[in-house]
Amino acid sequence: MIKTLKGLLLTGAVVASCVAWAQPEEIQYNPNSLNPIPRYEQLYKLRVWRILELKEKQNKGFFANGGEITKLLMDAVKSGEIAAVYKTDSLNESTKLTKDEFLANLVSQAGQTFPAWDPASTYFQGDVVSFNGKNYELQVNQDSGTNPSQSPNQEWAVTNQGQGLTYLPREIDVINLVEDVIFDKRRSRLYYDIQAFELQAFDMNTSTYKSLGWFKYKDVEKVFRNNPEKAIWFNRQNTAENKNFADAFLLRLFKGSIYKIENPDDETITDTYRNNGRPYYESVWAREWAEMMLMEKEHNLWEF
């Protein structure tokens, strides 16, 4: 009886051990990582948010005239190459934007509103009406009762009148980047695992920068690789060494100031200093200090 009990306990321990090691893959690996590092190999991990000012000298390689990284991403959404844009950096399916919602975010100035087409009204040449989300202009002297979208003799024509202004690629000059800083204890080195991008543009109405949407970096990197003739990081010192955007990010050829490190209060560095009554300039120094602390942490982990 005692031997049987011991056997059962041993079997239970073995099963529990196997269950502990045989966890589902999505638990051990981050599905949003390009090259996921299993969690059991992570000696150290910290999530960091950075801001890339694309007009800054060090970042202009991503913002060359006609070859802006923002233009490539906008075109990728419009063409359907990027199918998912998100409201937040959680990249949760519940926060996904539709294509129309993303395009609406690109509107920098609202357009003119025209009256809806009324089949009982009489219209004259030059009149503009709204019908099924489009604006139509009457091309003939007079008309009534003709459906604008199905006019047999081209009485109505789609017009761009009244459309709002949309941001140009060079007006979207800020990228927020989220990455996991991970020290792989097996390979004994630090990795920067980029998770997401956010495009931001200056809103004239509120005098602040507004979010246009978040992208999974896995989707973005695929666009870079699939469009080598467009995704070109411009090397101002030696154009023979121009690189693909994906390689430029892999080599850290950008300047991204830290503005947030994950914390229990989910505060940015500026928020922390403001909430403690400290002046703004101290938070600027703190951002640079945070960068130095990460470098010091990497050095200490190597020593370990």
pLDDT of 120 over the 50 cut:
yes
- Across 7-11, 202-206, 251-255, least confident range: 7-11
CA distance 182 to 179: 9
Model pLDDT, residue 17: 46
For residues 194 and 52, is the Cβ–Cβ distance under 8 A?
no
Model pLDDT, residue 16: 46
pLDDT of 178 over the 90 cut:
yes
Q: In terms of pTM, does the model score above 0.75?
A: yes
CA distance 32 to 20: 23
- For residues 7 and 66, which has the higher predicted lDDT (pLDDT)? 66
Residue with tokens 């802006």: 68
CA nearest 217: which of 167, 266, 175?
Answer: 175
Run of H or E including 55: none
CA distance 197 to 70: 11
Interacting residues of 170 by C-beta distance below 8 A, sequence separation 6+: 63, 65, 68, 70
Q: Could you read off the pLDDT of 251-294 as tens digits, one per residue?
A: 999 999 999 999 999 999 999 999 999 999 999 999 999 999 99
94-107 b/e (C-beta count within 10 Å ≥ 16 → b): eebbeeeebbebbe
What percent of the chain has pLDDT above 90?
Answer: 65
Domains, the chain, with CATH or none? 30-108+169-262 (no CATH), 111-163 (2.10.10.20)
Interacting residues of 158 by C-beta distance below 8 A, sequence separation 6+: 134, 135, 136
Angle between helix 69-79 and helix 217-226 axes, rounded to 10 deg: 100
Model pLDDT, residue 4: 52
